Amino acid sequence: MTEPTATGPTVTGPTVAVGAEVPPLERTIGLRDMIAYAGATWDWHRLHYDPEYLEERRLPAPVVDGQVFGALLVEQLQDWLGPRAVVRRLHFRFKNLVFAGDTVRCTGRVTAVDGDTVTVEQRIVVVDGDEPERAAVEPAGAEVVLRVPEER
């Protein structure tokens, strides 16, 4: 590990230093989005759309497939760092269920920079106007390698 204040490569894109904030990614996940995700992943579990199934289990609304949050955490990092970023490792733990219609916000912060490898911690909360945020996914985080851009 290099100095805790080390800065990674800055050939293009944002400066990546310990403490830097990853720009938040916010997304409202509607039932239509959930149906699309279920289709794209061949996952037709009734938990994600079927009112009868949900009522039997006293769930208030269709439950968002947790794995979609992995995709959002990667998207948040790649939107920030661009095509030179390669996510090498991603971890996340589920805290609370997220339901159809909820708006989630992914946040993050750089915790280490070692050569071309950037470590970030991330978190996903459900936001609802003035209501207190509800943790959906935490802890979470990633290791990202920043490649030197090669023009072809």
Residues found near other proteins in the complex (CB under 8 A)? 27, 33, 36-37, 39-47, 50, 53, 66-68, 70-72, 74-75, 78-79, 83-84, 86-94, 147, 149-152
Burial class (CB in 10 A: 0-12, 13-18, 19+), 22: buried
Query: Is 6 or 71 the residue whose CB approaches other proteins more closely?
Result: 71
Between 53 and 99, name the residue whose CB sits nearer to other proteins.
53
Please, are residues 34 and 49 in contact by the beta-carbon 8 Å criterion?
Answer: yes
Closest contact distance (angstroms) between CB of 110 and other proteins is 19
Which residue lies nearer to other proteins by CB, 20 or 38? Answer: 38
User: 135: closest CA among 109, 108, 106, 110?
Assistant: 106
How far apart are CB 10 and other proteins at their closest, in Å?
Answer: 17
CB of 75 vs other proteins, minimal distance in Å? 5
Taking the least distance from each CB to other proteins, the nearer of 95 and 109 is 95
105 DSSP assignment: E
61 within 8 A of 99, measured Cβ to Cβ: yes
C-alpha radius of gyration, the chain, whole number: 18
